[in-house]
Structure 1
Amino acid sequence: MLAELKAVNNFLKTLNKLDENEFYYWNTIHLKTTAFYWASLTSHLLNCFEVSSIDPILNHLETCRQPEGGYGGQKGHDANLQFTLSAIQLYILFNRLEEIDVVKNSAFILKLQNSDGSFSSDIWGEKDVKFTYMGLLSLKLLQKLNTCDIASAQSFLLSCLNKDGGFGLLPRTESHAGFTFCAVAGLVLCGHVFTEKENSLIVDWLKNRIFGIGVNGRPGKFYDSCYAWWVLASLKLLNVPVINYDFVIPFILSCQNKKSGGFSPRPREPADLFHTTFSVAALSLLKHGGLEPIDPLTCLPGSIMNI
């Protein structure tokens, strides 16, 4: 592995030692379940995952498990679709999926599907393409996808496709690369066969996010390292050879903080776990630095998903 990627592991270890006297501890405590997924995925891709970290994370998940199904981001927090998906992904990463209550968790997820096919985040009803992808993927990983209304979910996702080729958070909202990934991946999960017109429109919009030295999420916006993942993963799901975009690698590497080892949105900015994970994931898609391959549909290591 390249030396700069080895430094990422040092960044992950630093985050693991944060205490209550540090700002970043409090800034991330509400999403600790997903933070554990990001860190565990990254270390897997770096081929430096430590088995000793499994039990503490599983102990955390146990405190976040809700009696009616679903997981929260922290002890005492309500169950939420994002954190439930992160918990499922962690159990799969650790090869411990048999420890999750499939019946209760799939029932929790199914209750969050709305009449228009979308999924809500939680019982309070916020819905969009992100949560629809999360709901579909969660059920897929639990082998319960056929228990939801796939046809209406597909219809909802297609209703978020704009004339410019990108997908919005909801119908008739601005196109965004992150939402486009969620919609494309969700449609793949639904078994949607993209028409030639749909494919051409979406691919052209995605390709236009790659410009100059970097990748952005919307027209006219600054480039950002995490969009390398959302854009390239979407292209790969649409059967576009992403290896042709290896010229993006120097941009991603320029976003690595030389002091901490983590990745930031742009060069010379503070690193964070989110951008570190998805920068490494993008480098994995581009087959850079001896990283383990990643499955763009599930955001899990290819060796685990047998791809």
Structure 2
Amino acid sequence: MSCQHPEGGFGGGPGQMAHLASTYACIAALSILLDGADQNVVDETLAKIDRNKMLQWMLSLKMPDGSFTMHHGGEIDVRSCFGALTVATILNLLTPELVQNIPEYLVSCQTYEGGLCASSLPNKFSHEPDGTQPEMPSAAPVGEAHGGYNSCALACDFLVQGLPSLSGSPRLDYDACLRWAAQMQGLPIEGGGFRGRTNKLVDGCYSWWCAGAFPVLRALMTSDFPDQQESFDLFDRQALQEYILLVSQDLTSKAKQGGLRDKPSAKADMYHTHYILAGLSLAQHSQKHSRQRLEELKASFKTPDYSKCIIGNSESQDEAFERMKEIYSRALAWEVEEDKDLVVGLVSNKVVSSSSWWLTLACHSSAQDPFLFLFGAGHSYLYILS
């Protein structure tokens, strides 16, 4: 809490400027630390977060096209958008003003390959035959689809789905995105790992960055077809586990340091160990966004104490209630399909299931008091903005 900035948000340390990356990390870390804590401790800690200033600070970072800067005067890309939306979801600050134009921004980041890039970058060399700039240039004409940015963008898209204020907004081409994402998995001769970009080498960290997008993508693609909820794999789970167990580990007799690595030519490090383990969990445990669970959560959602809620400038209490119910229910409707577990090799290779992308199924403020949803943040996205 000493990292909280007096004007809102959190810095990387006491006295440092507020930054969306460090704000995300602090809120995610608090979620993990408070998971299972006594409710009095939870309430006392949350009361120290200035949510009004947090929202005003995030709004000050918002750009007209729907994107966010990382900090005042900072860079813009989909990571900052993900950081803002995640924090706003956890703290129940996802107001209509904050999400305005986000779907349009995300659509502008989808490349000709189908995957999403860091940000929309108009191509100044793209002109009509008469030499004029086209009124509607192609999406992200000079952007490059990337596994990490693609994962962040899809998570953003999922977070704003179903919000009443965004009905009728443009949508991503999920089929094109799936086609690109599936092509990022390497061939058997490459070990079955994932690459982050077209024509690049496979890299252990993309075990999470690429594979982690598939459960979210599946949820987005099936949202229009509620009757088609059967489970199906969008990537080769066995091949990814084989890459992790046989390639990302140094299995030579001289290996003593442990940890996991990018590829055989690299040394193990904490960054890759973190993401590779998250990818291993995803490959072993199939996860889905459950329609049944979603409806159960909506039915259990009760009227909050509006004096503790932050309501959008243009919202009525009824509209705010529907918004909060949708956010709460969608965020917690993820389920692990235990009958679909797939573990390559020995039983001892099995790791615990992580959340599909950033949430566990724990919630400190339940439907009885949903003014602040402090979800237990899954480890998989703890360092997403690093």
Is the TM-score greater than 0.5?
Answer: yes
Counterpart of 2:259 in 1: which secondary structure? coil
1:178 aligns with 2:157: no
Aligned sequence identity (%): 27
Q: Matched residues in 2 for 1:251 and 1:121: separation?
A: 34
Aligned-pair distance for 1:301? 4.0
1:250 aligns with 2:242: yes
Pick aligned residue for 1:296 from 340, 345, 356 = 356
| Structure 1 unaligned regions, length at least 5 | 1-60
Q: Matched residues in 1 for 2:116 and 2:243: separation?
A: 25
Answer yes or no: is the 8 Å Cα contact 2:182–2:235 preserved in 1.
Answer: no
Q: Deviations over 1:161-186 (max 9, x none)?
A: 01210111112211111111111111
Pick aligned residue for 1:280 from 277, 282, 285 = 277
Pick aligned residue for 2:114 from 165, 169, 172 = 165
Pick aligned residue for 2:102 from 147, 153, 158 = 153
Count of aligned pairs between the two proteins: 245
Pick aligned residue for 1:116 from 65, 87, 90 = 65
Answer yes or no: is the 8 Å Cα contact 2:151–2:213 preserved in 1.
Answer: yes
Task: Mark the structure with the bigger radius of gyration.
Answer: 2
Q: Matched residues in 1 for 2:33 and 2:95: separation?
A: 25
Answer yes or no: is the 8 Å Cα contact 2:19–2:70 preserved in 1.
Answer: yes
Aligned-pair distance for 1:158? 0.9
1:89 aligns with 2:33: no
CA gap 1:282/1:302 in 2 versus in 1, 3 angstroms:
farther
Aligned-pair distance for 1:201? 0.6
Q: What amino acid maps onto 2:243 in structure 1?
A: F
Deviates further, 169-178 or 288-297: 288-297
- Greater helix proportion: 1
CA gap 1:72/1:150 in 2 versus in 1, 3 angstroms:
same
Aligned-pair distance for 1:129? 1.0
Q: What amino acid maps onto 2:157 in structure 1?
A: L
Q: Deviations over 1:30-64 (max 9, x none)?
A: xxxxxxxxxxxxxxxxxxxxxxxxxxxxxxx52x2
Answer yes or no: is the 8 Å Cα contact 2:110–2:172 preserved in 1.
Answer: no
Pick aligned residue for 1:241 from 233, 236, 239 = 233
Deviates further, 205-214 or 141-150: 141-150
Pick aligned residue for 1:210 from 160, 175, 185 = 185
* Aligned 1:1-307 pairs, distance under 5 A: 61-62=1-2, 64-95=3-34, 96=42, 98=46, 99-171=48-120, 172=140, 173-191=143-161, 198-212=173-187, 213=191, 214-239=193-218, 241=233, 244-253=236-245, 254-257=247-250, 258-287=255-284, 289-298=349-358, 300-302=359-361
Deviates further, 236-245 or 174-183: 236-245
| Structure 2 unaligned regions, length at least 5 | 35-41, 121-139, 219-231, 285-342, 344-348, 364-374, 379-386
Q: What amino acid maps onto 1:177 in structure 2?
A: G
Q: Matched residues in 2 for 1:71 and 1:246: separation?
A: 40
Q: CA RMSD in A?
A: 2.6
Deviates further, 252-261 or 225-234: 252-261
Q: Matched residues in 2 for 1:228 and 1:234: separation?
A: 10
Q: Matched residues in 1 for 2:96 and 2:24: separation?
A: 17
Q: Matched residues in 2 for 1:302 and 1:284: separation?
A: 16
Answer yes or no: is the 8 Å Cα contact 1:136–1:145 preserved in 2.
Answer: yes
Answer yes or no: is the 8 Å Cα contact 2:118–2:149 preserved in 1.
Answer: yes
CA gap 1:153/1:185 in 2 versus in 1, 3 angstroms:
same
Q: What amino acid maps onto 1:69 in structure 2?
A: G
CA gap 1:71/1:149 in 2 versus in 1, 3 angstroms:
closer
Answer yes or no: is the 8 Å Cα contact 1:130–1:179 preserved in 2.
Answer: yes
Q: What amino acid maps onto 1:128 in structure 2?
A: D
Q: Matched residues in 2 for 1:137 and 1:292: separation?
A: 23
